[in-house]
């Protein structure tokens, strides 16, 4: 059968992020309820500055397909993540589509982080600190503004030119007050929500820097050795992850040198009503997600269906 090929721009045009938010929320709940279908994620170093990751298989109840994604991270490049995602028919294994994974991964990661922030932050939290003015800084803020009112944003990055350009883009696109801050302390000092996505390998968020009731979404710690949030913050916070085992193996918990005992819930358990989430306005909450294959499937399936309906992409017969 013919396989649909989709480029990054074709995937981008095919996605409807508000619809994805509801689908991703349901998929998180399904994943945590069905504890027999745990994520499989393999990471390896490459000969050079990059690292490769394989996520397989991505499966979600109600979607008659599965995904396998292979991509690599090169921090100095733009984009830093490059690879492909293969979408297969769950009944026959037929290769339905091959698509660029760059935009797809950025959207699902940013949307997952924003969903966690919206769910775990105080109901009245409307100020945001963005730490890391890269692709995820854009996607997380963009998704969060679509979920709740955001009054003010403080942005910080070690690259002054990059954070200035980021603030200008976000102000123009979202009509939100985005201010560049000279220091990390200044950026997070009064924030109700902190969205962090950096390449840091040592913690930079510590208890004295956080106001009571602050929520932190930390997405930079998605490989062994990476860390953004200190162990002291995690010990005293409501700690939520996407997968318990992977949070320790390669996520925020393990990166801080801690074990599964500090994890209070998976995000899917909160969406499924099995954990209450935040119970106090003064409680600090932290979401640390490593990114799971089922998230890829939710996004890839929407892209595939929309592309077929619009006639986007081109086909090839790999068996021909």
Residue 36, pLDDT above cutoff 70: no
The mean per-residue pLDDT over the stretch 1-19 comes to 95
With pLDDT > 70 as the criterion, what percentage of the chain qualifies?
A: 100
With pLDDT > 90 as the criterion, what percentage of the chain qualifies?
A: 86
Return d(Cα 136, Cα 277) in angstroms, integer.
24
Sorted by where each begins, the domain ranges of the chain are 3-105+293-316, 120-288
What contacts 24+ positions apart, CB below 8 Å, involve 307-310? Answer: 307/4, 307/6, 307/10, 307/11, 307/14, 307/97, 308/4, 310/14
Hey, what CATH class is 3-105+293-316 in?
alpha beta
Residue 105 contacts residue 84 (beta carbons within 8 Å):
no
For 233-244, the pLDDT digits (tens) are: 999 999 999 999
pLDDT value of position 118: 98
The mean per-residue pLDDT over the stretch 39-62 comes to 85
Residue 20, pLDDT above cutoff 80: yes
Examine domains 3-105+293-316 and 120-288 and report if their fold is the same: no
Residue 37, pLDDT above cutoff 90: no
Q: Which residue has the tokens 């109840």?
A: 61
Q: How many other CB atoms are found less than 10 A from the CB of residue 314?
A: 11
pLDDT value of position 142: 97
If you average pLDDT over every residue of the chain, what do you get? 95
Residue 84, pLDDT above cutoff 80: yes
Residue 44, pLDDT above cutoff 90: no
For 284-300, the pLDDT digits (tens) are: 999 999 999 999 999 99
Q: Which residue has the tokens 């990055």?
A: 157
Residue 38, pLDDT above cutoff 80: no
The CATH number of domain 120-288 is 3.40.50.720: yes
Token couple for 119: 């769910």
pLDDT value of position 26: 96
**Chain-centre distance for alpha carbon 173:** 21
For 115-147, the pLDDT digits (tens) are: 999 999 999 999 999 999 999 999 999 999 999
By CB atoms closer than 10 A (0-12, 13-18, 19+), residue 111 is: buried
The mean per-residue pLDDT over the stretch 50-79 comes to 88
Return d(Cα 114, Cα 101) in angstroms, integer.
20
């Amino acid at each position: 059968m013919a396989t649909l090929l989709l480029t990054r721009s074709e995937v981008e045009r095919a996605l409807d992020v508000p619809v994805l938010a509801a689908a991703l929320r349901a998929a998180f709940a399904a994943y945590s309820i069905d504890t027999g279908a745990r994520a499989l994620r393999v990471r390896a170093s490459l000969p050079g500055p990059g690292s490769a990751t394989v996520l397989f298989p991505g499966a979600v109840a109600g979607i008659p397909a599965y995904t396998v994604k292979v991509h690599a991270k090169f921090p100095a490049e733009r984009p830093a993540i490059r690879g492909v995602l293969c979408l297969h028919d769950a009944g026959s294994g037929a290769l339905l589509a091959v698509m660029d994974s760059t935009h797809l991964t950025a959207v699902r990661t940013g949307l997952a982080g924003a969903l966690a922030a919206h769910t775990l932050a105080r109901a009245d939290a409307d100020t945001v600190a963005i730490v890391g003015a890269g692709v995820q800084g854009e996607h997380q803020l963009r998704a969060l503004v679509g979920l709740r009112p955001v009054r003010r944003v403080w942005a910080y990055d070690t690259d002054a030119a990059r954070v200035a350009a980021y603030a200008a883009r976000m102000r123009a696109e979202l009509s939100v007050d985005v201010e560049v801050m000279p220091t990390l302390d200044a950026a997070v000092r009064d924030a109700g929500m902190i969205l962090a996505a950096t390449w840091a390998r040592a913690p930079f968020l510590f208890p004295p820097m956080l106001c009571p009731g602050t929520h932190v979404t930390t997405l930079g710690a998605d490989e062994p050795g990476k860390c953004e949030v200190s162990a002291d913050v995690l010990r005293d916070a409501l700690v939520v992850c996407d997968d318990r085992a992977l949070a320790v193996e390669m996520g925020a918990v393990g990166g801080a040198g801690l074990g599964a005992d500090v994890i209070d819930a998976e995000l899917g358990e909160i969406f499924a009503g099995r954990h209450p989430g935040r119970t106090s306005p003064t409680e600090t909450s932290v979401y640390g997600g490593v990114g799971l294959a089922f998230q890829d499937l939710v996004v890839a399936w929407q892209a595939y269906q929309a592309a077929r309906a619009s006639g986007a992409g081109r086909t090839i017969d790999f068996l021909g």
